[in-house]
Chains A and B, each alone.
Chain A
Amino acid sequence: EAGVAQSPRYKIIEKRQSVAFWCNPISGHATLYWYQQILGQGPKLLIQFQNNGVVDDSQLPKDRFSAERLKGVDSTLKIQPAKLEDSAVYLCASSRGSYNEQFFGPGTRLTVL
């Protein structure tokens, strides 16, 4: 079974630029999550989708971050404009349902200069 795929693996941008990350979950997984992990901290949930609907986006900075999962499969997370404090690893995870084990992708390491 293929795991969660993410791209790109690394991204370096300057502040105020835009960036987008892509995630393809494990086939058949209805629930998809985006996490932000800052160095030295645990992952923090940004947004959770159930199929193509948003379940929880309470910790998403909506003035600059957006995410979508249009067909209930893959998802994109966008930051516009980026700030220095957005430097982090962005992890995508998926699960069969919100009560099931989450499987993480390898993450995208973002550096904002």
Chain B
Amino acid sequence: NAGVTQTPKFQVLKTGQSMTLQCAQDMNHEYMSWYRQDPGMGLRLIHYSVGAGITDQGEVPNGYNVSRSTTEDFPLRLLSAAPSQTSVYFCASSYSTSGESYNEQFFGPGTRLTVL
């Protein structure tokens, strides 16, 4: 298993540009999420999904869109990049063994985004 993969690893955008950060997992996990981590800070939840076709907002959703058409993929779209979105973005996945509780999250390697 490759686990959670993210592309690209690095990206530089100009203000106003749009782009999609890709995230894929091959563990058949129903739960996936996106976080951003600013320098010296903890992770903040952007959006999450509990299954294909189901997404919801996290702590800092403004400026980002997500969709979940398949179990494996959970892309994050930046609609109009702003310098405040300069950050490291992590994707994570998790699974439920009982249908009621989720276990630990598995994180990808991250995408470093710089918006000029």
* A and B part of one assembly: no
A contact set with B: CB distance below 8 Å? none
B contact set with A: CB distance below 8 Å? none
